[in-house]
């Protein structure tokens, strides 16, 4: 008797499944606004020139392909910690930061979630809405998962009062997932004054922040996009930071990420390091070395570091330019729908405000693909398709 006949067919991933539907669409004027990648004006995901240069150096100089340590590439961990926490804090508090190279940002969430389950075992709360895989990853860690109000779909603003009221009612040790910048999928972040309020409330209520830092440099800048993490770290909170180099280094397929756990003391950080290394060892044993070596080399070489910042600046400019142009065209032309909120977001993603019926019409009638909640990636736009997209959006609204 077969052992596996009972296995059900799993539903397609809500985001990755969009790409398959897009490629299967035979229309020449089709548009993919659901993709989670940065795209240039030619709608390609380019390899950054600084990455190419670093790879050429590594090709000639890399001595071997031996295993990395369990916790990963030391230079990478130190350089990214400095980038996330700021040089001053990193130098002063290095001994309190337990850092680990992970298999992408998702791997950082998974390892961090596993640590939360085994060593904290408190409920974890994710924002509504959030990146869909947050729930899946933390479910896989067997954590108790709930959600909190973050975004008001009617006003297209933060559900600020509800958010604060939620935090005030949480029990000590509750884990709160926060997007460090460029909130996915809304593109709406708290202001610095609001971040200060959140840090004060979470410190007073003894809550544990878990930052997902996937887009540093895609919002306002490398320094600006790290301000929330730095504010919380300097306030004395114990916290988690899951970092991804996929977007800001355009290294999606290399799976380069990091997990940082900020403890109260150096001794505690040492204990945390020992436990997380055990978890990694029994999961994937050692992290991969190529992509992380590229990032470490770029961040260690003054010339390549400057070039990377310049390339990242151009990527951010394109994101902001396409968001602004989309918003302005829709605001000027729409007589029935308010698109003002599109102007004020940060990062690749934003909510259009379309409902599921309108999203389905766009797909069926116009070949424009996006998630059912109306979230779009503005990098799917360029000068060749933006007029068609705007006209199609106006037709369904």
pLDDT of res. 338: 84
Query: What average pLDDT score do residues 229-248 get?
Result: 96
Token readout for 297 is 């080399």
CA angle 156, 185, 113 (to 5 degrees): 125
Query: What average pLDDT score do residues 136-158 get?
Result: 95
Domains of the chain: 16-46+313-396 (3.90.1150.10), 67-300 (3.40.640.10)
Between 193 and 20, residue with greater pLDDT? 193
Query: Do the Cβ atoms of 59 and 67 come closer than 8 Å?
Result: no
Judged by DSSP in three states, 242 sits in strand
Indicate if the pLDDT at residue 167 is higher than 70: yes
pLDDT of res. 190: 97
pLDDT of res. 5: 87
The separation between the first and the last C-alpha atoms of the chain, rounded to the nearest angstrom, is 55
Indicate if the pLDDT at residue 336 is higher than 80: yes
Active-site residue (options: 39, 90, 110, 212): 212
Query: Do the Cβ atoms of 74 and 300 come closer than 8 Å?
Result: no
CA angle 325, 329, 332 (to 5 degrees): 140
Percent pLDDT > 90 in the chain is: 85
What one-character-per-residue DSSP string does 73-129 give? -HHHHHHHHHHHH-HHHHHHHGGGEEEEEEEHHHHHHHHHHHHIIIII---EEEEES
Question: pLDDT for 10-26, tens place per residue?
Answer: 887 777 778 888 888 89
Beta strands 175-179 and 208-213, pairing class: parallel
pLDDT of res. 265: 95
Give the predicted TM-score (pTM) of the model.
0.94
Question: pLDDT for 273-313, tens place per residue?
Answer: 999 999 999 999 999 999 999 999 999 999 999 999 999 99
Question: pLDDT for 337-391, tens place per residue?
Answer: 888 898 889 999 999 889 999 999 999 999 999 999 999 999 999 999 999 999 9
Query: CA 188 to CA 345: how far, in whole Å?
Result: 5
Active-site residue (options: 131, 189, 195, 225): 131
pLDDT of res. 292: 98
Query: What average pLDDT score do residues 28-45 get?
Result: 92
Query: CA 389 to CA 362: how far, in whole Å?
Result: 9
pLDDT of res. 20: 82
What one-character-per-residue DSSP string does 287-335 give? --SHHHHHHHHHHHSHHHHHHHHHHHHHHHHHHHHHHHHHHHHHHHH-S
Indicate if the pLDDT at residue 159 is higher than 70: yes
Query: Do the Cβ atoms of 242 and 212 come closer than 8 Å?
Result: yes
Indicate if the pLDDT at residue 81 is higher than 80: yes
Query: What average pLDDT score do residues 22-50 get?
Result: 92
Query: What average pLDDT score do residues 166-194 get?
Result: 96
Sorting pLDDT into bands at 50, 70 and 90, what band is 1?
low
131 catalytic, yes or no? Answer: yes
pLDDT of res. 314: 97
14-18, 58-62, 122-126: least confidently modelled range: 14-18
């Amino acid at each position: 008797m077969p052992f596996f006949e009972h296995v059900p067919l799993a539903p397609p991933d809500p985001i990755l499944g969009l790409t398959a539907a897009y490629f299967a669409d035979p229309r020449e004027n089709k548009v993919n606004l659901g993709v989670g990648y940065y795209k240039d004006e030619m709608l390609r995901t380019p390899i950054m020139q600084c990455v190419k240069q670093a790879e050429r150096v590594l090709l000639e100089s890399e001595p071997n392909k031996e295993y990395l340590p369990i916790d990963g590439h030391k230079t990478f961990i130190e350089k990214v910690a400095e980038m996330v926490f700021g040089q001053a804090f990193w130098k002063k508090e290095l001994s309190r930061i337990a850092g680990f190279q992970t298999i992408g940002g998702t791997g950082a969430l998974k390892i961090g979630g596993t640590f939360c389950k085994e060593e904290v075992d408190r409920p974890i709360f994710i924002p509504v809405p959030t990146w869909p895989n947050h729930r899946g990853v933390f479910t896989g860690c067997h954590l108790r998962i709930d959600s909190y109000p973050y975004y008001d779909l009617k006003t297209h603003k933060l559900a600020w009062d509800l958010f604060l009221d939620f935090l005030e009612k949480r029990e000590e040790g509750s884990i709160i997932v926060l997007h460090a910048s460029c909130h996915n999928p809304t593109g709406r972040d708290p202001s610095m004054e609001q971040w200060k309020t959140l840090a004060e409330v979470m410190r007073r209520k003894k809550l544990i922040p878990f930052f997902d830092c996937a887009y540093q440099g895609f919002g306002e800048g490398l320094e600006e996009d790290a301000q929330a993490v730095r504010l919380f770290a300097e306030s004395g909170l114990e916290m988690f930071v899951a970092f991804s180099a996929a977007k800001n280094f355009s290294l999606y397929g290399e799976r380069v990420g990091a997990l940082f756990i900020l403890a109260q003391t150096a001794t505690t950080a040492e204990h945390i390091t020992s436990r997380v290394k055990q978890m990694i060892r029994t999961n994937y044993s050692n992290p991969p070395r190529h992509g992380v070596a590229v990032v470490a080399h770029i961040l260690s070489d003054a010339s390549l570091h400057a070039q990377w910042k310049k390339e990242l600046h151009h990527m951010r400019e394109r994101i902001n330019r396409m968001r602004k142009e989309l918003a302005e065209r829709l605001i000027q032309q729409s007589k029935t729908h308010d698109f003002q909120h599109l102007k004020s977001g940060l990062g690749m993603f934003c909510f259009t405000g379309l409902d599921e019926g309108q999203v389905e019409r766009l797909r069926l009638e116009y070949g424009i693909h996006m998630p059912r909640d109306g979230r779009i990636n503005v990098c799917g736009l360029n000068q060749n398709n933006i007029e068609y997209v705007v006209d199609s959006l106006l037709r369904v609204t």
